Amino acid sequence: MEKFVNQPLKPRSFFTFSLSVLLATFAAALGAQSVEAAKPMALRTIMERLGRDMQAVTGAISKEDWPLVTELAPRIAKHAEPSMSEKMRILAWLGADAGKFRGLDGQVHDAATAMGEAAQRNDGQAVIAAFSKTQQSCLACHQSYRRSFVEKFYGSR
């Protein structure tokens, strides 16, 4: 053992060892990135919840269940938001489109708020009109960003 420690490392052995360490580090980093890319972002969970709430509103409208619409509308208008670090990743990706994205989110907020107010008044026509505006804002956002968002943050799925 003592002979091995005192012997100088040959240049070729040193190169092989260094290359092995470098490749192992690179492979570990790639593995960590693919795990991160595969891990769903909070925004996905938020969108899934919004989808369920929107479907529930559709059912409530069909039954003229205005108290249920009144309950659901604020959940849509004031939906949860991703963590600050996730927001920063999304805003960096959006770049110059961040204002448009926020504007569409604001339209969803305003329309869902109006829907809830109309439901409190038992005004079915106004509920349906506000629900339509809410859906149109959701659709505009999805058509503008969903595909490229999924490709950026989840790869080609």
Query: For 64-87, what is each residue's pLDDT tens digit?
Result: 999 999 999 999 999 999 999 999
Residue 31 within any structural domain of the chain: no
Residue 3 within any structural domain of the chain: no
The tally of CA atoms less than 13 A away on the side-chain side of residue 148 is: 8
The residue with greater pLDDT, 56 or 22, is 56
- Cα 138 to the chain's mean position, in Å? 14
Tokens coding 83? 């963590």
The answer to whether 61 touches 131, Cβ cutoff 8 Å, is yes
Residue 14 within any structural domain of the chain: no
Tokens coding 76? 């849509």
Q: What is the mean pLDDT of the chain?
A: 83
The dihedral through the CA atoms of 59, 64, 70, 71 has a sign that is negative
pLDDT tens readout for residues 119-155: 999 999 999 999 999 999 999 999 999 999 999 888 8
Residue 18 within any structural domain of the chain: no
C-alpha 128/C-alpha 62 separation (Å) is 10
pTM more than 0.95? no
Residue 148 within any structural domain of the chain: yes
Contacts for 120 with CB less than 8 Å, ≥ 6 apart = 66, 70
As for how many domains the chain has, the answer is 1
| Residue 141 domain boundaries | 42-154
Residue 62 within any structural domain of the chain: yes
C-alpha 105/C-alpha 91 separation (Å) is 13
pLDDT at 93: 94
